[in-house]
A = this chain, B = another copy of it.
Amino acid sequence: VRKSKQEAAETRRRIVTSASSEFRRNGLAGTGLNDLMGAAGLTHGGFYKHFESKEQVVDEALAQGIESMVEAWGKTPSKSSRGIPKGVARGNPLEAAIADYLSPEHCADVADGCPYAALGSELTRAGAAVRDTATRGILKMVDLIAANYPDITPGAARKKALWTISSMIGAVTVARMVNDPAVSATILREARKHLADQ
């Protein structure tokens, strides 16, 4: 049942999008091609009409997850998809983005959240292409954050941004790991406090 070029391209995009969520929800190893194609409303057999391997779709899904995070980061705080605590949005955009990242909503929303927090340790063991995508994504985020530190040199801003992003990723990862909601909430709150103060 051949589809038109546009339909095929749309299908491909749909696979990448749903795969991106599935990977974040169940992990790279925990998501099979069957799950992945099923989530896109297809059967697994057609997978190789769109991709050369599982690693390729992992790579593209990661890239898309990063891209959508970068886009959300660039938006004005009030347009962010997740709830922003009242009174915070008044500060600079970075503060709002940090509050968004470290919100309980983001913590609860693995499938739509930061790919680094969802897949961190699995990414350290991924193939060269995936790790390259991950690295370029981190540097993209770093540039976005660093642009909000106008009072220090670009080099210092970059360093500070690396600290901001890595500590935020750690906070959300650990907050998701512990099974005590009070501890999770405290971790996120403390991270917000320390990154706002700096």
A residues near B (Cβ < 8 Å) are: 26-27, 29-30, 110, 116-125, 128, 131-132, 134-135, 138-139, 159-160, 162-163, 165-171, 173-180, 183, 186-187, 189-191, 193-194, 198
Contacts and interface: CB of A to CB of B under 8 A. Distances in A.
Tell me the interface secondary structure of chain A in the complex: helix
Contacts of A187: 162-163, 166
Contact of A124 (B116, B125, B176): B176
A159 B190 contact: yes
Given A121-B27, A191-B167, A177 B132 contact: no
Given A132-B179, A138-B177, A168-B170, 7 more contacts: A27-B29, A120-B174, A134-B178, A135-B179, A138-B183, A165-B174, A166-B170
